[in-house]
Structures are given as structure tokens and as C-alpha cells.
């Protein structure tokens, strides 16, 4: 990436999320799967959002897999869709981030330690 413009990118910017949602809707209508690969998929606080947006696959660094997998197993799609819908209706990335952090802590209290540390425990 470009170091001079990297600060402009926020994966929780409403425009980015709406773009992802549009891709999911169009791809699914065409019978295609949608995957997210990289940092966004590995961020535990984004898991409920991505699952609720009906992404089909998340690809991430191996160290993030156990925590993300555990969170996915602790919530149903029916529970995550309203969380994603609420997040998609928000207008500020920080509001979305705070909301997702709160919902993640509520659904999976064990994630509190993840928000308070820099590393994802295996």
C-alpha cells in the first residue's frame, strides 16, 4: 500500500461496508461465493459483521483462526444478521467499531481479553 494514503483507509467506513454488501448481494444472486482475505477477516471485532453480511469464507493468518472460529461457533446467522444490519445503518466508522466491540463482548465475553491486548491468543 501507499504509506501517504494508508491513513485514509478504514475497513469500517460505511462506504467500504456498503461496497462489500453490494458485492455479496450481486455475487450471491449470480450463485457465486464471496470471501474476505487478510486483516479484516482476522480482526475478531469484525467477525459478527462479516458473518451477518453473509460472507461465505474468511481467510486469515493462522494465529487468528482459533479465536475467529470460536466466535463464529458461538452465534447463529440469525443472530448476526441484525448486528450487521445495525452496523450498516451507522454513519461513522468509530460508531460502528464501538458497536461491534460491544456486541462481540456481549456474545462472547471471553473476547474482552482480546480487545485489551495486541495479540490474538491461540
Per-residue model confidence (pLDDT) at position 1: 67
Contacts of 27 (CB under 8 A, 6+ apart): 33, 34
Contact by Cβ (8 Å): 59, 36: yes
Whole-model pTM: value is 0.85
Q: How confident is the model at residue 121 (pLDDT cuts 50, 70, 90)?
A: very low
> Pick the residue with more confidence: 90 or 120?
90
Q: Is 107 exposed, middle or buried (0-12, 13-18, 19+ CB in 10 A)?
A: middle
φ, ψ at 47 (rounded to 5°): -60, -50
Residue-wise pLDDT for 81-100, tens only, equals: 999 999 999 999 999 999 99
Residue 122 has pLDDT above 70, yes or no: no
Contact by Cβ (8 Å): 54, 78: no
Residue-wise pLDDT for 21-79, tens only, equals: 999 999 999 999 999 998 899 999 999 999 999 999 999 999 999 999 999 999 999 99
Amino acid at each position: 500500500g501507499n504509506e501517504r494514503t494508508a491513513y485514509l483507509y478504514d475497513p469500517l467506513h460505511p462506504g467500504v461496508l456498503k461496497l462489500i454488501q453490494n458485492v455479496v448481494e450481486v455475487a450471491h444472486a449470480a450463485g457465486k461465493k464471496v470471501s474476505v482475505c487478510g486483516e479484516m477477516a482476522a480482526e475478531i471485532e469484525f467477525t459478527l459483521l462479516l458473518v451477518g453480511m453473509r460472507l461465505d469464507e474468511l481467510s486469515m493468518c493462522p494465529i487468528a483462526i482459533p479465536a475467529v472460529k470460536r466466535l463464529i461457533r458461538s452465534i447463529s446467522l440469525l443472530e448476526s444478521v441484525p448486528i450487521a444490519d445495525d452496523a450498516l445503518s451507522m454513519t461513522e466508522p468509530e460508531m460502528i467499531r464501538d458497536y461491534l466491540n460491544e456486541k462481540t463482548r456481549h456474545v462472547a465475553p471471553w473476547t474482552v481479553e482480546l480487545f485489551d491486548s495486541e495479540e490474538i491468543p491461540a
